Structure 1
């Protein structure tokens, strides 16, 4: 009888602890889902290239197929502020996008730095000029990433921490543009494609270092885009598009849902 009473007591105790832990876990999940989400950044975050642009966003071209919009639709945060904007540099994020951040912000995502480093000009140079000019412009972009970009990223990251001290911040990187030795029969040389890929790697590495220094999570999308670069035969990036030049070298809707969203999901 005594052993039975002890067994019953232990069983009851374990059951009570189980309920407590289950309740705590549920409360934590509920709290996480209830916090506000703010999506900052440039065209890779606004969704340029994916279509379905929100008319009220104007030239910022925020898309309902962009990864922030998809994440918010799936997770129903208590509030969702989508301020990412096409063409944004670090200074634009600081000046125009941070208004919604507050102590109740639980999640912040952003991609920024590519425009500061002049990637649009890199691609213009590489498409229109010689291979040597392309390689030289890539080298200039890398030098900027070394000398100037880290301080600009620090300014953005510090401002986010100050305005949203409780937020989990996910800094999304950029994919490599090209699959080397791929299916492309014309256009840039392999040397140029390799140089552009190396510049993307360079930018991602610098961004990851600064994000880590601020205690932020770096979301590396190069893995999810692997096999879906330009020249892959199943590209999630637009190649040069003369009819809609602004969408060139940006993720398609599949790139947003298959390349970016899974990385944010794994990092949030």
Structure 2
């Protein structure tokens, strides 16, 4: 969601706490609760995942920056990766990880920047909080140039998340997890239903955009579309009218990943001369974040570790110091783990 939503969400949070009823949504997703969240299985290729989250680091400014140079690591591999380009929305920009700056709210602790630092690569970051698919290939509403304008033959790896804002991510988070509006007209159920109906449209637009991005890259360069983490744990969160918000949001998430898989397959087949074959979907987030969702049942709600998967990897409405643009985005721990999983995913593709 965009940083400009801060005032509106802050007001909604105050209203929720004062009103009482909606505050239950905040408590359910930020505090203790019973149950577990197993990984979701999808029929797509995934990278190997490590559950160890390295410490977040890096203070470089947004834009074009050098990564931290270090000794080559056999665990992650760095051969041939000298330039990493970051495209996409707030999940690419690193909302939630801390240290975000500028109108696009980019963080030096984003997963892709951490990956680039680990392999000693230069970073070109065109990601932007609130971005939609069209922003990949056309100037955005703020006048920023098309994101793909930074993609050229020097790119070794291009990484992005995209599509969440096109289906109303911010409204879904507000209605489902703050207001707990359930089946109320215009509420959570309607938002999820509308988002699912928009997936074919997003699929077509994202395919066209990534074909254009891919055409600007070298045939041997790697393009990675990353699946979003599933926001809701695998446990009931029944709201008005008996609507299970967690089940609805998870179903939307899995439908979205299936859509992304179709996009990647289409890009591979549409780029002339077979140059799109090195385009991949990384679904490691589905397993990586399982059990770390807000309200997963394994969070202590206090930040005190209570087990292997006890600490949430998302900022919530009650996270101290969190900006509204950070809510339901991976925090520093989540981005660090996601950066490590990207390194593992790319290692066999970039040797």
State the TM-score bracket (shorter-chain normalisation). 0.7 to 0.9
User: How far apart, in 2, do the equivalents of 1:144 and 1:177 lie?
Assistant: 19
* 1:229 alignment counterpart: 293
Residue segments in structure 1 that go unaligned for 5+ positions in a row: 1-28
TM-score (norm 2): 0.61
What does the per-residue CA deviation read over 1:80-117, in whole Å, with 9 as the maximum and x for residues that have no partner? 20111100111112222122211221110000000011
Check conservation: 2:78, 2:120, Cα contact below 8 A. no
User: How far apart, in 1, do the equivalents of 2:332 and 2:247 lie?
Assistant: 25
User: How far apart, in 2, do the equivalents of 1:240 and 1:102 lie?
Assistant: 39
* 1:12 alignment counterpart: none
User: How far apart, in 2, do the equivalents of 1:254 and 1:211 lie?
Assistant: 28
Q: Does 1:171 align with 2:235?
A: no
Shift of 1:165: 3.2
Check conservation: 2:136, 2:209, Cα contact below 8 A. yes
Computed over aligned residues only, the root mean square deviation of the Cα atoms, in angstroms, reads: 2.6
* 1:128 alignment counterpart: 179
2:115 is matched with which residue: 48, 71, 94?
71
* 1:261 alignment counterpart: 339
SS in 1 for 2:313: coil
Shift of 1:190: 7.5
What does the per-residue CA deviation read over 1:212-260, in whole Å, with 9 as the maximum and x for residues that have no partner? 32232111111100111111302101222596221111110111111x2
1:92 is matched with which residue: 131, 135, 146?
135
TM-score (norm 1): 0.79
User: How far apart, in 2, do the equivalents of 1:137 and 1:104 lie?
Assistant: 41
User: How far apart, in 2, do the equivalents of 1:145 and 1:185 lie?
Assistant: 25
Check conservation: 2:180, 2:239, Cα contact below 8 A. no
Higher gyration radius (CA): 1
Shift of 1:128: 2.8
* Number of aligned positions between the proteins: 233
Q: Does 1:217 align with 2:296?
A: no
User: How far apart, in 2, do the equivalents of 1:92 and 1:223 lie?
Assistant: 29
Residue segments in structure 2 that go unaligned for 5+ positions in a row: 1-76, 139-145, 269-278, 300-310, 347-351
SS in 1 for 2:330: coil
Check conservation: 1:68, 1:82, Cα contact below 8 A. no
Runs of 4+ in 1 over 6 A off after TM superposition: 184-187
Shift of 1:30: 7.1
- Between 1 and 2, higher relative CO (CA 8 Å, sep ≥ 6) is seen in 2
What does the per-residue CA deviation read over 1:36-64, in whole Å, with 9 as the maximum and x for residues that have no partner? 211101000100011012x4xx1211111
Q: What does residue range 16-35 of structure 1 map to in structure 2 within 5 Å?
A: 32-34=80-82
Q: Does 1:247 align with 2:326?
A: yes
SS in 2 for 1:91: helix
* 2:73 alignment counterpart: none
Q: Does 1:103 align with 2:103?
A: no
User: How far apart, in 1, do the equivalents of 2:116 and 2:192 lie?
Assistant: 36
